[in-house]
Amino acid sequence: MALTRFHSLIDTFSARPDGAAYTIARYRVLNRQVLVLYTTIGSNALGLAHTYYGAAPDWMIVWPLAILLGLCIVRSSLWVKSLVSLPPLDTMAKRLNATTHLAIVLSIILPVWAFSLVPYGGLPESMIVVFSLTIIMTVSVQCLLQHPSAAVSIFIITLVPAVYLIIRGDTLLHVMAVNYVLLVGGMVVVQYFSYCDFRRFVGLSEENRRLAFTDYLTDLPNRRAFFAEIERRARRRSGEPFHVGLIDLDGFKPVNDSFGHRAGDAVLREVAHRLKAKEIGWIGRLGGDEFGLIVEGGADLAQIGRRICGGLARPFPLREGTAQIGASIGFARYPDAATSPEMLLERADFALYHAKIHQRGTAVSFAPEHEERLRDIAMIEQALRRADLAAEFDLHYQPIIDTVDHRIEAYEALARWNSPVIGRVSPAEFILVAEQTGLIRDLTPILFGKALAALRTWPEDVRLSFNLSAQDIASPASVARLAELVVASGLDPGRIVFEVTETGLMRDLVEAHCSLATLKELGIGIALDDFGTGYSSFSYVHRLPLDRLKIDRSFVISLGDDATSLSIIRSIVDMSRNLGLHCVVEGVETFDQMLLLRSAGCRSMQGYLFSKPMPEEAVSGFGLVVPEHAEVLAS
């Protein structure tokens, strides 16, 4: 046991931790103590010089003292500069090594000089020599606590003057020499235990730091580390440009919902593995299904985007099955797009949003025109925050037509905003801003109240179709408020249909299901809007309390040129019929489109062919005009 302990002690003192964390920690500790070390050496050297001044030759006093004080002053000035800011890592290592070597040199020079003065004095002067050396060696060992090799060297060197005193001195000096050795030796032993604690502390601190800056699931740097890396690169004196990228997984949420969270975690780990394998730059996970990327300024972003999107589009084999996802990427360049990490992320996020809306599955770089768009959004947000929602917002209504019975079966309520500050604003713009700012939760009940008032004036067989945002669906309080408005209106809930988009549902399918079920219990109808454009529409229809599907207008636009679109529409209509769901087709603009849709089994349609959205006062006088070639419809 004792032998094992001895070997452990030897290993500890001989260890040279070269890691950056150890180097920085040792440097910080020594930086706080080095002035004490050199002050102790200088003051005791002055004391010895004063003790023997006039007794020993001047050259033995002046020159050694000048050299010692010069070394102390020069070394202290170097370390004082580090109190303001730490030098580079390699400079730290060099200074630590230099301090260790200098301490050993001084521990040799000082005793040699001190004992060379002993013959010029008596017993009291000799005792002052031993006392001064004891102080110097003790303080040196204490200040070099994190430098075990230097401490051990100092202890070994102290044995030489101790032996000299035992051989040449009287009894009192013998006692002082023994105490001198025991004191310094005891300090070295204490240092051993302190150094062991220091190493454990640094190791734990580094592990805690690693955990604080590492994503537990993927072992990638986390959001905090991502921001720190951006700041580090932005502070570089060279000012070299770099790109910040945000990678968002398309269609990941359905993986969690279909296969479970364990499968979703497996996909995220594999995404991290594929990204690291590309060796395209600095990768981090920012949370959820969003990853961060930092690449140097000269990188080919288009090629990097293709490599990432292509790599993540490959199937993900799982124990539960095979997952298929995609990825969209937004890039922002430092310093062109922004100089602060927050603004860089904001602009990369806007580029990502642009990619997901207009070029899903690709990489988009933030451009000057995006900056203009950001300013427009900021202006809309400020106007929206100051707006009188009840006074400035109103509704237009677009009919949904039963083309078989040639009647109006419903009106869809569409929000309109005429701001006294910035004029008329497109719904595509202000609804997006309202959702991002959370103001949609205040706007929805106001508009729904107006829609209910309009519904009261319509024929009993005409329904109201009203759109809900993702935030409305995700908020139990918002859903409860809408239910209260329906009950308070006294209207038949069966005349009301709430339209929800797949994007809104996919944010939290469980919460969305609960919200829709609450509304369905009142007798309110639920329609899935923009059906067919998402990644998982077909697999989720049977799991939601739906009454109807609204086929997205993108399929209608290409009807005349793409036979596949008609086949898809026919499949959706057949599926709706089998599931007992009512099917509506949006975006019908021409008579030929209507005929093709009729041939595919579609009955309910909506679009400019029948009417553009109209203000409330126009609804009462609206009469459905039979389109050209009406005789074809009757056949």
Place of tokens 């039963």: 402
Q: Which region among 56-60, 434-438, 499-503 has the lowest average model confidence (pLDDT)?
A: 499-503
* Cis, peptide link before residue 335, omega less than 30° from 0: yes
Q: Which of 124-138, 157-171, 426-440 shows the highest mean pLDDT?
A: 426-440
Q: What's the pLDDT at 535?
A: 46
Q: State yes or no: pLDDT of 29 exceeds 80.
A: no
Which amino acid is located at 321 in the chain? Answer: G
pLDDT value for 44: 84
Q: Is 419 helix (H, G, I), strand (E, B) or coil?
A: strand
In eight-state DSSP terms, residue 53 is B
How much is the average pLDDT of 333-348?
A: 88
- Tell me how long the chain is: 635
Q: How far apart are CA 308 and CA 310, in angstroms?
A: 5
pLDDT number for residue 10: 40
**Residue 412 φ/ψ, nearest 5 degrees:** -90, 130
Q: Which amino acid is at 616?
A: E
Residue 182 has which token pair? 């025991």
500 CA to centre of own chain: 29
- Residues 235-255, mean pLDDT to the nearest whole number: 85
Helix (H, G, I), strand (E, B) or coil at 344: helix
Q: Is the pLDDT of residue 6 over 70?
A: no
**pTM over cut 0.75:** no
What residue ranges define each of the domains in the chain, with the CATH number in brackets? 2-212 (no CATH), 223-366 (3.30.70.270), 378-634 (3.20.20.450)
- Contacts of residue 69, Cβ cutoff 8 Å, sequence gap at least 6: 42, 45, 46
Instruction: Find the range with the poorest average confidence among 24-33, 318-327, 465-474, 595-604.
Output: 24-33
Q: Which residue has the higher pLDDT, 162 or 518?
A: 518
* pLDDT for the residue 136: 75
Residue of 394, 395, 474, 488 whose CA lies nearest to 441: 474
What is the per-residue pLDDT for 409? Answer: 94
pLDDT at 148 over 60: yes
The band of 464, judged by pLDDT with boundaries at 50, 70 and 90, is: very high
Identity of the highest mean pLDDT range in 58-62, 79-83, 170-174:
58-62
Listed range (5-14, 88-97, 133-142, 450-459) with the worst mean pLDDT = 5-14
Taking the C-alpha atoms of residue 270 and residue 259, their distance in angstroms, rounded to an integer, is 15
Reduce the DSSP state of residue 388 to 3 states and report it: coil
**DSSP output for 569-619:** HHHHHHHHHHHT-EEEE----SHHHHHHHHHTT--EE-STTT---EEHHHH
Condensed to tens digits (0 to 9), the pLDDT of residues 93-133 reads: 887 787 777 777 777 777 788 778 878 888 788 778 777 87
Tokens of 517: 């079920």
Q: Within its chain, how far is the Cα of 413 from the centroid?
A: 38
Can you give the pLDDT at residue 481?
Answer: 94
Cα–Cα–Cα angle for 154, 155, 158, rounded to 5 degrees: 85
What's the token pair of residue 84?
């303001």
CB atoms within 10 A of CB 187: 21
Residue 482 has pLDDT above 60, yes or no: yes
Mean of the per-residue pLDDT values for the chain? 82
Percent of the chain exceeding pLDDT 70 equals 83
Q: What are the DSSP calls for 194-232, one per residue?
A: HHHHHHHHHHHHHHHHHHHTB-TTT-SB-HHHHHHHHHH
Residue with tokens 């990188």: 299
Q: Classify the C-alpha dihedral 549-550-555-559 as positive or negative.
A: positive
| Single-letter amino acid code for the residue at 51 | T
Residue with structure tokens 């202000």?
430
- Segment 155-184 shows an average pLDDT of 68
More confident residue, 542 or 501: 501
pLDDT level of residue 11 (50, 70, 90 thresholds): very low
Rg (CA), the chain: 40
Amino acid symbol at 212: A
Dihedral-angle region of residue 239 (phi above 0 means left; psi in -120 to 50 means alpha; beta otherwise): left
Task: Give the bridge partners for 401, in sequence order.
Answer: 408, 605
Question: What's the confidence (pLDDT) of residue 628?
Answer: 46
Sequence letter at residue 569 = I
Residue range 593-626, pLDDT digits in tens: 999 999 889 999 999 999 999 999 888 777 654 4
Q: Bigger pLDDT: 383 or 235?
A: 383
Report the pLDDT averaged over residues 191-211: 68
Average pLDDT over residues 136-153: 70
> Is 492 within 8 Å of 452 (Cβ atoms)?
no
pLDDT at site 7: 42
User: What percent of the chain is modeled with pLDDT above 90?
Assistant: 31
Contact indicator for 442, 390 with CB cutoff of 8 Å? no
C-alpha to C-alpha distances, 123 to 128, 129, 135, nearest whole angstrom: 9, 10, 18
Spatial distance between the Cα atoms of 271 and 248, rounded to a whole number of angstroms: 11
Question: For the residues of 44-75, what is the DSSP string, one character each?
Answer: HHHHHHHHHBTTB-HHHHHHHHHHHHHHHHHH
Cα distance between residue 60 and residue 263, in whole Å = 80
Q: Can you give the pLDDT at residue 626? A: 44
> Cα–Cα distance between 124 and 104 in angstroms, integer?
28
The strand pairing partners of 501, in sequence order, are 529
Q: Nearest-5° angle of CA 562, CA 568, CA 571?
A: 150
Which of 169-183, 510-524, 552-566 has the least mean pLDDT?
169-183
CA distance 525 to 532: 20
Instruction: Give me the pLDDT at residue 13, please.
Output: 41
* pLDDT tens for each residue of 410-430: 999 999 999 999 999 999 889
Q: Does residue 494 surpass a pLDDT of 50?
A: yes
Residue bearing the bigger pLDDT, 283 or 154 = 283
